[in-house]
Amino acid sequence: MRALIVIGLGLSLSGCIAQTAASIVTLPVKVVSKTADVLTTSQSEADEKRGRAMRKQEEREAKERRRAEREARRERERND
């Protein structure tokens, strides 16, 4: 009976060891892949970044335009 338990335990541990070994072997590949992904910019990411920059620029221009209109209106009211 003990022999059967020892054999069963041995087989279950060997699967665990094999899985751990496979994880250790694939780890460097995963790290390099993740590093390359972080360091490079895809075309869609570049497009999104450019779109955000354009929207921010448009917001700044609209804000400046509103400020200039407000100042012009105040100046007209002073002159009337």
> What is each CA distance from 32 to 20, 21, 35, in whole angstroms?
19, 18, 5
pTM for the structure as a whole: 0.48
At 61, the pLDDT band (50, 70, 90 cuts) reads: very high
Q: Domain ranges for the chain, please list them.
A: 1-40, 45-80
Query: What's the pLDDT at 80?
Result: 74
Query: What's the pLDDT at 18?
Result: 62
Query: What's the pLDDT at 43?
Result: 87
pLDDT for residue 56 is more than 90 = yes
Encode pLDDT of 13-22 as tens digits. 555 666 766 6
